[in-house]
Structure 1
Amino acid sequence: MTVPRSTLRLQLHSGFTFDDAIAGVDYFAALGVSHLYLSPITRAMPGSLHGYDTIDYTCVNPELGGEAGLLRLAEAVHARQMGLIADIVPNHMGIAGSDNAWWLDILEWGRHGAHARYFDVDWHSPDPALRGKVLAPCLGAPYGEELAAGRIALSFDAAQGRFFASYGEHRFPICPVDYPMILRGAAHGEHPEMTALADHFEGLTVQPEQHPRARAAQEALRAFASTHGAKPFDAALAGYSSNATASRERLHRLLERQFFRLAWWRTAADEINWRRFFDIGTLAAVRTERAEVFDAVHALALRLFAQGVIDGLRVDHVDGLVDPREYCQRLREKLGERESERPPQLDGSRAYVVVEKILARGEALPNDWGVDGTTGYDFMNDVSALLHDPQGEAPLTATWSELSGSARTYAELAFEARRKILAENLSSELDRAARGIHRIAREQSATRDFTFTAIRRVLAELAVYFPVYRMYPHNGSRTAPDDAYFRQALEGARRSTARGDHAVLAYVAASLGGDGRDGEPRSAASALPNRERRTAATLFAQVTAPLAAKALEDTAFYRYGRLLSRNEVGADPGEFALDVDAFHAANLERARRFPYALIATATHDHKRGEDVRARLAVLSEIADDWTATLRAWSTLNAPHRRAFGSAPGIDETAADRAEVLATSEMGSSIDAVSMSTTGASMAGRAAAASQAGLSMACTPLPGPTPNWAPGPAAEAMLYQTLVGAWPYGLEHTDAKGIQAFAERIAQWQLKASREAKQQTSWHAHDEAYEAASRAFLFDILAPQRRDGFLRELSSFVARIERAGAINSLSQTLLRMTCPGVPDLYQGTELWDFSLVDPDNRRPVDFDARRACLVDTPPSEQLRNWRDGRVKLGVVHRALTLRAVSPALVLEGSYLPLTVTGPRARHAVAFARQHGDAYAIVIATRLASSLISESGDVPLVDPAAWGETSITLPPPLAGRALFDCMSPAAPKADGAGRLYLRDALSALPVALLVEEGVPHG
């Protein structure tokens, strides 16, 4: 099997191609990476910056350099004994524009198309207007308005010989059955030759056997156009112009006959009749569960694996698939069939496969999927929680309750967000699931009177209370882990539904894989055939998975701001901290079940960069100081809050249309009104504010926010973001640097406010609120504030930055040495103060990183720690150890080590053992109270550790150890005690090995 020692994720797009990656291969190899982990390489929507909107699974994206470019990259990495892992997107395809041939086929021919069964379309919609059609919710305004305005037009593509309806960038092919009518309209005028062309299509039907004839007829149109030009066809199109009432009505009737129904984008949430990726109307779910679709989707990846070009796959959004277990097992089987075709030097090696999967605390990835683990969100959660001080939870919770004006917990906010998303964004998905279960109920006399509405009601409650992303039933029945989670949902639904609905609830519970165990009411559903039970469970999962993602990560995370470092993908903001014992337990479980899973601290989907989170974690250690600082800043900046209301003169549909047809960038402006400041300290201002009854927790007006922007909760989260993302080396007097920083924060602020879906949202912009919020940001960061808020902000960051850097170095070393395969996200080997995408996908200067890579110990870079070279050094030295002693960290045992003494809670330590070889890992945590105020490096004074020590494994007692990170050679005493004042004298982390084990 090809097991990576480590991976480095690269985000490929037209601005960073395979050839650009080749230019960095020497650096990646020198860093110690064993495999490059590539974002999706299949052809995506033109200009895609991420590749997850695949439009053609059969070819390598030409914008990246095509297959030739991929082969060049493979040759370059193989020459350095490295490999490639590719990200695949089997769940959905991009369908915007006119580039997806599979999707265009079903728009043209409906359920008679060759690819009609490739997409999850409900061709039997209860809406008569959608039966046999695909809803196309792409219009920026209601259909009638767009038709009357002439923005929907009939066009002709001379290169393809096809008629289509056009709207902006979108193209909708007209069914060839209607071509005779269009062509004959021109034949009665100046172009009688169109009659002959119309005859080619006469008598054509939609049946599949007629499609070759239609293609031949379209070829005749193409040939005619190449000879005679487009003018004859212009005459045909004129009969469907929107300029006159009669021709516009003719166009409408033509469109109504097609296999698509053009609609305002707002209709999607309630009426869409095909499965999307989450609530995104430009990404259509693919039916990979069908054998022919699976083969078409994976043919390229399987071939590249067989040829030795790639060594493994990362499966995107596995929870979106109908049956993840069955899918993963089939993928493993198909890859296994191709192993013997691999080049001889690869020895028929087994493919490395990981899945993108969010695991809740205590939730386990099933063992029977045949994969090597997840992509590492679970570890990212564990290591981040480890760096938080549990003593800060109560005061920060109280502060947030005051600031937000609500004592609601994160769990309560999450329930509220789930209800909102289910009602406003995923209503059609809920309808579809309820209809499926209702159809099953109608087939039995005992349940035929359970109405659709009642089933929908109870199904909604089950979805709202379901605590994880989804179930994974086996043969139509819930597994034991599924059942435990389902019963939590069932209890919540029982509490929230009327007693009269409990019989329906019992039926739905049983139909979703139940069997009457543990006191569950038995019903007719218990005897349902497995096929119907599997169908019901699948429909339920297709509600709960997108609901969890949209309600939690994309809504509640932007509403709850107790401490934003815990609002991360894969984490539960309600879980504040993790103690050392729990961290060890999670690592032991990973080592036992999935020793080769990826472990990450940054990804292309993270909400905040790894070093932003590490710095913000320090606030948990100084909760009272942070509360006082918030109050002071609130008072200081109160004059810059902006009143807002409904923006007069805004045409909502025009704004919608602009959102659909084009993306505009809001211009920036900085209010020139200066604010007078005083020399009072923050504590003094906080006290004055308290005496005056002022705080950020102003009494809000009815509604989601007060009538000033950005509002108390959003303002509190803004301050955390400013503190967390402030780059090292940025001076508060650097006007140009502050301007660039403010633009980045403004981009985050806009996204955060829209994701919160309270005052504004992606679907309904409150432009007045957004503009006022942006003005507030630029006001408080204006150059004239350099001796006021900017100085205060910079000074506060300076207070906590060393503790934050210690956290960063600790989580870096832990990622490199804990059980699993460490994944390095592009560029994060230096400090990573990025925010949510697209900020975390900015170009990376690999040349600069190459110049920073040296062979000297990282401890020598500590004095210049702000440039990030010390972090790069930790990465490099740890990866070097993995390269020279791969068995030690890939296959070695994980041995938690006991820390004792006065500062025991401030360190975490463990050993990796393989045979007689050991590596000892020590990392500092919760360092804020240990750092000398007079120091300037991120290091605890060795004397501050006192008698704190770790107990080494018995074989190491009295033996010399060498630190891979520094010249130190600490030695344990005869009792096996290694004192931290010796081990952590040069850096806040240590990676100790015995003499004879290479250590850099």
Structure 2
Amino acid sequence: MAGALYGRVRDELLARATPLSTYRLQLHKGFPFTAAREVVPYLARLGLSDVYCSPYLKATPGSTHGYDCVDHKQLNPEVGSPEEHGAFCSTVREHGLGQVLDVVPNHMGIESFNPLWFDVLENGPSSLYARFFDIDWSPVKDELEGKVLLPVLGDQYGVVLERGELKLGFREGAFFIHYYDRTLPLAPRQYGRVLRRGLEELEGRLGVENTHLLELHSILTAIGHLPSRTETERARVIERNREKEIIKRRLAALVEASPEVAEHISTNVKAFNGTPGNPRSFDELGELLEGCSYRLAHWRVAGEEINYRRFFDINGLAAIRVEDPDVFTEAHQRIFDWLRQGCITGLRIDHPDGLYDPTAYFLNLQEQYFIERARAVFEAEHAERAELWPEVERRLRERWQGEAGAQVGSPLRKALYVAVEKIQGGRERIPEAWAVHGTTGYRFANAVGGVFVKPDAEASLTETYHRFIDEAPDFEELVYEKKRLILRDFMSSELNMLAHRLNRISEMNRRTRDFTLNSLRRALAEFIALFPVYRTYVDDWRPELDERDVRYIQDTLRHAKARNATLNASIFDFLGDVLLRRYPEHLGPHERAEMLAFAMKVQQVTGPVMAKGLEDTVFYVYHRLVSLNEVGGEPEHFGTSAEVFHTRNQERAEHWPASMLTSSTHDTKRSEDVRARINVLTELPEEWRQRVERWSQLTRAHRTELPHGVAPCPNDEYLFYQTVVGAWPMGPSLSSEGLADLRNRIRDYMLKAIKEAKVLTSWTNPDPAYEEGVARYVEACLDEGRSRAFLEDLQSFKRRIERAGQHNSIGQLLLKMISPGVADTYQGCELWDLSLVDPDNRRPVDYGLRARLLEVLDREAEANRPGLCSQLVSNMDDGRIKLFVLAESLRLRKRQSALFHHGGYRALHLVGPRADAAVAFAREHERSVVIAAAPRYTLSALESPGGLTGAYEETSLDLPESYASMTFRDVFTGQEVRPGRQAGSVVLPLAPLLAGFPLVLLERSDG
């Protein structure tokens, strides 16, 4: 039975196609399942293959993103009910679409009620869920032994306590600690302190034989016999969990039955809560809190003393140990239910670099998916023989592990579509052992935008930036400095934890025991600050380390030695031995396990430090060309060459053909259209320099003189100019209401940006004077009454580069849609979207407008396709041209699904005077051929007498000889074209093609 079932499920899963295209929907209270369901018909008509949803398990109330899940077993009630979810999924299926769901395996939200976290706070190491969270129960600070540090207070603990802001409460048999809207559990053994207060007086009133008093004494006895909160033996943990709940039920019943006991508890609660102005009256409440499994503290101490792993440095997101089988099951139970039922068909995995062992996690994911699909088949066919399933499951797992688990190349490893949010730096690649289809596309977003950056402008724009800010920052040094800042001010607790673990390891060997804790900490800090990528993937089950990981570690250690001449070089050698699994022969299994665990913990720290130091700090400090400051980007490299773009596309076609391709996401710092316009600055660097200097003079009066300088500083002022140029709405004019909206958006963005930069203000140490100065500056600059000359000059410049920016936008859209991979569209981006970083990029989307525009486009295309193209080109400001390009490209993908699933990639070269001013390639599969070409550096062409067509008059696509006899149909205009010959080569002149539409998309029509 198991063998036949295995074969059937295997064949079924391998026959499933990966997505061709996705559309990201951000689900939240303002856009629930009912609203998403209404959008599905439009998305299907657009030509998409899959809906791609943000996380929708139960999250912190008010969450607009869903990454703060508080309960893996429930839907987010703000997004909809199970019935509404079912209706949404049914509608998706009825329209022939799949559904990719965003999943968060690394962490949970703990700001609001999370039943697992609440249980940990109540019971400490003795909680049933203690091992679910990545908590160091024996941290550096002795006072935190067996406790969780909770840095949630707005002031010092003693001040908060004595102001009466911490209050004891009682409800339904349980005691709680309230801090404004936050509720924390009181440790069950501390109930006895509350109940015994004034007990003799109660006995005097009721009499020692009173039934209710006897029950109270019995409850007190039960409390005294509870296993300790530090007990970890499984049987005792279960006993404690059972008995504490029985105590609560008995106490609730007693209070219900006895008004006298209820009054006794109420009086005691009031007494414990003390009297503000009388510090000693809070001593008893302080003693209660000392007996709890958490230690309340001022929020500022988090960076140094927090002892649970977080998502980056966010205290409200606690990491979970998904490497534990029970945690894996808990976190994915509903996900697998939906996969088994066919509600969802693929997963996007958030932040895999935060996982202890991503490689093992992805294998577990694929194995469990196979088992769930097999279970669905078994239950449908053998419902009456359910007792056989455990043995069938065991055999299925053995066979899966023998085939897929042991063979990196097994297609069964990728039966479930999985895309991962992996950020790749430099030449970093995805580990081949990962059982995934690829990444979510940040690298592609930077590459496709980068090809529209003109490389010969680098020197000029660099000089302009350096002159304006009066300094010359070195990018690599800036990254190093900011990572050191993150380690020092935001994640020193993680560094301290690693240093102490390394110190314990050093004590295992007499040759390393003399390394001091301080020197080990310094070496670790240097290693992490200099590490060039997000993380390595050392694990405990593969015999050999990945060459890439070895190289990154060795190179980093070499650089660290060179930078630290005063630090004993042998410390770095020791660190390298631990990280690279070079263990001394005399060490036993326990010591080796400790060293391996340290290496794997280091990997979980390098990623957050890189992300916080680079993306969330340097990208808000280094403003040479801010369109390059994108997640996964490398602003030190001035754009992307066509050769690099083609090489990456070729590699993806061969190795990761179902990796996502994106250009805007919920995480991007600027939308694809903002970046596309800013890239035009590289086509007129001298003009940009002159404008910036003029604008600085025109807005000088709006700057505020502060004791430590001006607000905004020159660096922030330079950011403002690029931001307002990039985000100014399309069109020749802007209404007063539109200007007011833009002013508010730019002000809010600038305030976020300067806090993220952590230079003159920050989230943790704000400088109100500087922030107010920047806000006043933005408001004054974008006020017609106060800055008319600036606004007129700004709009004139924006209007000059706007058309070239639009061409960049539709050009990068075309390249994305035809490149190898799964083309993703972020919500709303089918029309012009000039959004900035969140929350700006999560504003409501008018889907009704988009659906109406698509219907009209389809009607007009059917009636007169060339005429429609001419109309779209003449009026690009309304964004319909972008919707048209997207829809036609998506429909081509569906029409040529075999080509886009399996097709090869061929870079095409151009010949002629503007050969470098376009990017072109072909996709090929059997007899199908698709050619795409996007002009770039179009500003000079658009401003030339002959326009775009005239500028490309003598430029042609150089095609392979095999294309000579082919006939192609222009997907946009519908015209038929055939290659010609020029000097013995097969060519397609660009000018005739661009005369009808500013992009080239040709589909072979004679195949």
TM-score, normalised by the number of residues in structure 1: 0.89
Within 2, Cα distance between the matches of 1:626 and 1:525?
64
SS in 1 for 2:418: strand
Q: In structure 1, what is the equivalent of residue 894 of structure 2?
A: 883
Q: Is residue 140–residue 496 contact of structure 2 (8 Å, CA) maintained in 1?
A: no
SS in 1 for 2:788: coil
Deviations 1:883-926 (A, max 9, x none): 11101122111111111110001101111111011011011111
Within 2, Cα distance between the matches of 1:470 and 1:526?
27
Q: In structure 1, what is the equivalent of residue 642 of structure 2?
A: 580
Which residue of the other structure, out of 163, 167, 172, is the alignment partner of 1:149? 163
Q: In structure 2, what is the equivalent of residue 698 of structure 1?
A: none
Which residue of the other structure, out of 652, 665, 675, is the alignment partner of 1:603? 665
Q: In structure 1, what is the equivalent of residue 569 of structure 2?
A: 502
Q: Is residue 478–residue 512 contact of structure 1 (8 Å, CA) maintained in 2?
A: no
Alpha-carbon spacing, 1:223–1:487, altered in 2? closer, same or farther (3 Å) = same
Q: Is residue 471–residue 478 contact of structure 1 (8 Å, CA) maintained in 2?
A: no
Q: In structure 1, what is the equivalent of residue 409 of structure 2?
A: none
Q: Is residue 932–residue 1000 contact of structure 2 (8 Å, CA) maintained in 1?
A: yes
Q: Is residue 2–residue 350 contact of structure 1 (8 Å, CA) maintained in 2?
A: no
Offset of residue 231 of structure 1:
5.0
More deviation, 831-840/429-438:
429-438
Q: Is residue 704–residue 712 contact of structure 2 (8 Å, CA) maintained in 1?
A: yes
1:36 and 2:51 aligned? yes
Alpha-carbon spacing, 1:636–1:231, altered in 2? closer, same or farther (3 Å) = farther
Which residue of the other structure, out of 879, 891, 908, is the alignment partner of 1:897? 908
Within 2, Cα distance between the matches of 1:634 and 1:775?
15
Within 1, Cα distance between the matches of 2:147 and 2:42?
53
Q: Could you tell me the percent identity over the aligned residues?
A: 39
Q: Is residue 938–residue 948 contact of structure 2 (8 Å, CA) maintained in 1?
A: no
Q: In structure 1, what is the equivalent of residue 352 of structure 2?
A: 318
Within 2, Cα distance between the matches of 1:642 and 1:978?
58
Q: Is residue 673–residue 809 contact of structure 2 (8 Å, CA) maintained in 1?
A: yes
Deviations 1:458-510 (A, max 9, x none): 01101011000001114486421012222231122101223442111110111
1:172 and 2:184 aligned? yes
Q: Is residue 819–residue 894 contact of structure 1 (8 Å, CA) maintained in 2?
A: yes
Q: In structure 1, what is the equivalent of residue 713 of structure 2?
A: 711
SS in 1 for 2:976: coil
Offset of residue 944 of structure 1:
1.0
Offset of residue 187 of structure 1:
4.0
Offset of residue 340 of structure 1:
2.8
1:511 and 2:578 aligned? yes
Within 2, Cα distance between the matches of 1:528 and 1:563?
51
1:976 and 2:1005 aligned? no
Offset of residue 168 of structure 1:
1.9
SS in 1 for 2:315: strand
1:86 and 2:86 aligned? no
Aligned-residue RMSD, C-alpha? 2.2
Q: In structure 2, what is the equivalent of residue 654 of structure 1?
A: none
Q: In structure 2, what is the equivalent of residue 914 of structure 1?
A: 925
Q: In structure 2, what is the equivalent of residue 687 of structure 1?
A: none
Q: Is residue 968–residue 1006 contact of structure 2 (8 Å, CA) maintained in 1?
A: no
Which residue of the other structure, out of 241, 244, 253, is the alignment partner of 1:214? 244
Alpha-carbon spacing, 1:214–1:797, altered in 2? closer, same or farther (3 Å) = same
Which residue of the other structure, out of 171, 184, 197, is the alignment partner of 2:216? 197
Alpha-carbon spacing, 1:228–1:822, altered in 2? closer, same or farther (3 Å) = farther
Q: Is residue 447–residue 524 contact of structure 1 (8 Å, CA) maintained in 2?
A: no
1:100 and 2:100 aligned? no
Q: In structure 1, what is the equivalent of residue 274 of structure 2?
A: 242
Structure 2 unpaired stretches of 5+: 1-15, 207-211, 229-235, 381-411
Offset of residue 946 of structure 1:
2.5
Q: In structure 2, what is the equivalent of residue 752 of structure 1?
A: 753
Q: In structure 2, what is the equivalent of residue 128 of structure 1?
A: 142
More deviation, 399-408/577-586:
399-408
Alpha-carbon spacing, 1:798–1:194, altered in 2? closer, same or farther (3 Å) = farther
Q: Is residue 446–residue 524 contact of structure 1 (8 Å, CA) maintained in 2?
A: no
Within 2, Cα distance between the matches of 1:787 and 1:307?
61
1:480 and 2:574 aligned? no
Q: Is residue 921–residue 990 contact of structure 1 (8 Å, CA) maintained in 2?
A: yes
SS in 2 for 1:469: coil
More deviation, 178-187/361-370:
178-187
Within 2, Cα distance between the matches of 1:988 and 1:539?
52
1:991 and 2:1001 aligned? yes
Q: Is residue 512–residue 537 contact of structure 1 (8 Å, CA) maintained in 2?
A: yes
Within 2, Cα distance between the matches of 1:224 and 1:750?
55
SS in 1 for 2:1002: strand
Q: In structure 2, what is the equivalent of residue 612 of structure 1?
A: 674
Q: Is residue 12–residue 64 contact of structure 1 (8 Å, CA) maintained in 2?
A: yes
SS in 2 for 1:368: coil
Structure 2 residue identity aligned to 1:96: E
Q: Is residue 781–residue 787 contact of structure 2 (8 Å, CA) maintained in 1?
A: no
Within 1, Cα distance between the matches of 2:944 and 2:418?
48
Q: In structure 1, what is the equivalent of residue 683 of structure 2?
A: 621
Alpha-carbon spacing, 1:259–1:830, altered in 2? closer, same or farther (3 Å) = same
Within 2, Cα distance between the matches of 1:524 and 1:467?
33
Q: In structure 2, what is the equivalent of residue 49 of structure 1?
A: 64
Q: In structure 1, what is the equivalent of residue 12 of structure 2?
A: none
Q: Is residue 469–residue 544 contact of structure 1 (8 Å, CA) maintained in 2?
A: yes
Within 1, Cα distance between the matches of 2:502 and 2:371?
38
Structure 2 residue identity aligned to 1:961: F
More deviation, 488-497/758-767:
488-497
SS in 2 for 1:314: strand
Within 2, Cα distance between the matches of 1:878 and 1:439?
59
Structure 2 residue identity aligned to 1:763: T
Q: In structure 2, what is the equivalent of residue 681 of structure 1?
A: none
Offset of residue 234 of structure 1:
2.3
Within 2, Cα distance between the matches of 1:81 and 1:337?
25
Offset of residue 554 of structure 1:
0.4
SS in 1 for 2:78: helix
Offset of residue 529 of structure 1:
6.2
Offset of residue 332 of structure 1:
1.4
Counting only pairs closer than 5 Å after superposition, residues 457-472 of structure 1 correspond to structure 2 as 457-472=522-537
Q: Is residue 147–residue 242 contact of structure 1 (8 Å, CA) maintained in 2?
A: no
Structure 1 residue identity aligned to 2:44: A
Which residue of the other structure, out of 675, 686, 696, is the alignment partner of 1:634? 696
More deviation, 116-125/349-358:
349-358
Structure 2 residue identity aligned to 1:814: L
In proportion to residue count, which structure has more helix? 2
SS in 1 for 2:169: strand
1:452 and 2:517 aligned? yes
Which residue of the other structure, out of 334, 343, 367, is the alignment partner of 1:300? 334
Structure 2 residue identity aligned to 1:233: I
Q: Is residue 151–residue 300 contact of structure 2 (8 Å, CA) maintained in 1?
A: yes
Which residue of the other structure, out of 553, 557, 577, is the alignment partner of 1:490? 557
Offset of residue 162 of structure 1:
1.4
Offset of residue 185 of structure 1:
2.1
Deviations 1:430-452 (A, max 9, x none): 11111112111212222222222
Q: Is residue 187–residue 195 contact of structure 1 (8 Å, CA) maintained in 2?
A: no
Structure 1 residue identity aligned to 2:928: A
Q: Is residue 110–residue 134 contact of structure 1 (8 Å, CA) maintained in 2?
A: yes
Within 2, Cα distance between the matches of 1:756 and 1:566?
16
Q: In structure 1, what is the equivalent of residue 624 of structure 2?
A: 562
Structure 2 residue identity aligned to 1:619: L
Within 2, Cα distance between the matches of 1:830 and 1:903?
29
1:266 and 2:294 aligned? no
Alpha-carbon spacing, 1:743–1:186, altered in 2? closer, same or farther (3 Å) = farther
Q: In structure 2, what is the equivalent of residue 784 of structure 1?
A: 785
Structure 1 residue identity aligned to 2:844: P
Q: In structure 1, what is the equivalent of residue 968 of structure 2?
A: 961
Counting only pairs closer than 5 Å after superposition, residues 681-720 of structure 1 correspond to structure 2 as 707-720=709-722
SS in 2 for 1:64: coil
Structure 1 unpaired stretches of 5+: 517-521, 646-705
More deviation, 251-260/164-173:
164-173
Offset of residue 527 of structure 1:
11
Alpha-carbon spacing, 1:608–1:151, altered in 2? closer, same or farther (3 Å) = same
Q: In structure 1, what is the equivalent of residue 42 of structure 2?
A: 27
1:864 and 2:865 aligned? no
Q: Is residue 305–residue 342 contact of structure 1 (8 Å, CA) maintained in 2?
A: no
